[in-house]
């Protein structure tokens, strides 16, 4: 199993540009989520999904959109990038029965200039 | 979701046992205690989870007293490679108990030296 994969690893955007961060998992996990981590801080939940076709907001959802058309994929879209969105983004997945045992991807380091 | 309190940082030397304590005074009946480890530039990694008494795996042990208001992650004979941030999380594993919204605090930065 590849586990949770994320692309790209690094990305530089200009203010106002849009892009999609990709996340995929091959463990057939029902639950997937996106976090951001700023320097010296813990992780903050952006959006999450409990199954295909179902998404919900986390702690810091503004400026981000998600969709879950398949069990495997959970892309995160930045509609109009802002410098405040400079961060490291992590995707995670888990079985619905053991949500606290989450598997994290390697992260995407995003810089918005 | 129960709030947790853990030390900001700890220092240790190779070969020593490290114990990181987490306080969670308002833990609920259905809540589990879960610990994650995060190395620089990597995503967090699940280490161990427990409900009461003691849990041990190949990486660590988790001690939980009877009142469950605190827990201690024990790392035996640490090495330089154990230098990482350790997060304590408390909550229900299921969707209705808030398990869908993991809350990571700032964790405990463990530094292991020679």
The secondary structure element, H or E, covering residue A91 is strand A87-94
In this complex, how many residue pairs, one in chain A and one in chain B, have their CB atoms less than 8 Å apart? 67
Cβ of A107 under 8 Å from any chain B Cβ? yes
Residue of B nearest to A5 (CA): B43
State how far the Cα of B113 lies from the Cα of B81, in Å rounded to an integer. 10
The secondary structure of chain B as a DSSP string is ----B--SEEEEETT--EEEEEE-TT--TT-EEEEEEE-TTS--EEEEEESSEEEE-SS-EEEE-TT-SEEEEEESS--GGG-EEEEEEEE-SSTTTTTTS------EEEEEE-
Under 8 Å between Cβ of A112 and A44: no
Please say whether the beta carbons of B109 and B85 come within 8 A.
yes
Q: Does A10 touch chain B (CB under 8 A)?
A: no
- A84-95 average pLDDT score: 96
- Candidates A41, A31, A43, A32; CA nearest to A89 is A43
pLDDT tens digit string along B96-109?
655 567 778 889 99
Which site among B42, B45, B100 would you substitute to test the A interface, given the most A Cβ atoms closer than 10 Å to its Cβ? B100
Q: Which residue in A has a C-alpha nearest to residue B106's C-alpha?
A: A42
Nearest residue in chain B measured CA to CA from A102: B46
Look at the alpha carbons of B89, B5, B107, B98 in this order and tell me if their dihedral is positive or negative: positive
Say yes or no for a CB contact (<8 Å) between B42 and A97. no
Of B49, B101, B103, the CB nearest to A101: B49
Q: Name the minimum distance, in Å, from the CA of B90 to any CA of chain A.
A: 9
pLDDT tens per residue, range B47-79: 999 999 999 999 999 999 999 999 999 999 999
Four-point Cα dihedral A52, B90, A3, A77, nearest 10: 50
DSSP string, A23-59: EEESS--SEEEEEEE-TT--EEEEEEEEETTEEEE-S
Q: Which residue has the tokens 């490290």?
A: B18
Q: Which residues contact A54 (CB under 8 A, 6 or more apart)?
A: A68
- Tens of pLDDT, residue by residue over A37-60, are 998 788 899 999 999 999 999 989
Q: What are the pLDDT digits (tens) for B11-53?
A: 999 999 999 999 999 898 888 999 999 998 899 999 999 999 9
Check B43 against A101: CB less than 8 A apart.
no
Q: Which residue out of B40, B102, B105, B106 would a mutagenesis test of the A interface target, given it has the greatest number of A Cβ atoms within 10 Å? A: B102
> How far B41 CA sits from the closest chain A CA (Å)?
8
β partners of residue B101: none
């Amino acid at each position: 199993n590849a586990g949770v994969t994320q692309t790209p690893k690094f990305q530089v955007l200009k203010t106002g540009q849009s892009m999609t961060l990709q996340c995929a998992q091959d463990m057939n996990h029902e639950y997937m989520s996106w976090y951001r981590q700023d320097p010296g801080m813990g992780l903050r939940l952006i959006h999450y999904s409990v199954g295909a076709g179902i998404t919900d907001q986390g702690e810091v959802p503004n400026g981000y959109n998600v969709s879950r058309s398949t069990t495997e994929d959970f892309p995160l879209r930045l509609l109009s990038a802002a410098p405040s969105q400079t961060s490291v983004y992590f995707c995670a997945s888990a079985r619905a029965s053991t949500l606290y045992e989450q598997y994290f991807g390697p992260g995407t380091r995003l810089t918005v200039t | 979701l129960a709030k947790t309190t853990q030390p900001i940082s700890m220092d240790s030397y190779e070969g020593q046992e490290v114990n990181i304590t987490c306080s969670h005074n308002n833990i609920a009946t259905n809540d589990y205690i879960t610990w994650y480890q995060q190395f620089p530039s990597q995503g967090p990694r699940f280490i161990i989870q427990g409900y009461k008494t003691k849990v041990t795996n190949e990486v660590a042990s988790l001690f939980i007293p009877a009142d469950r208001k605190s827990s201690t992650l024990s790392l035996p004979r640490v090495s330089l490679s154990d230098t990482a941030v350790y997060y304590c999380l408390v909550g229900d594993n299921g969707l209705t108990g808030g398990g869908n919204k993991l809350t990571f605090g700032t964790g405990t930065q463990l530094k292991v030296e020679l």
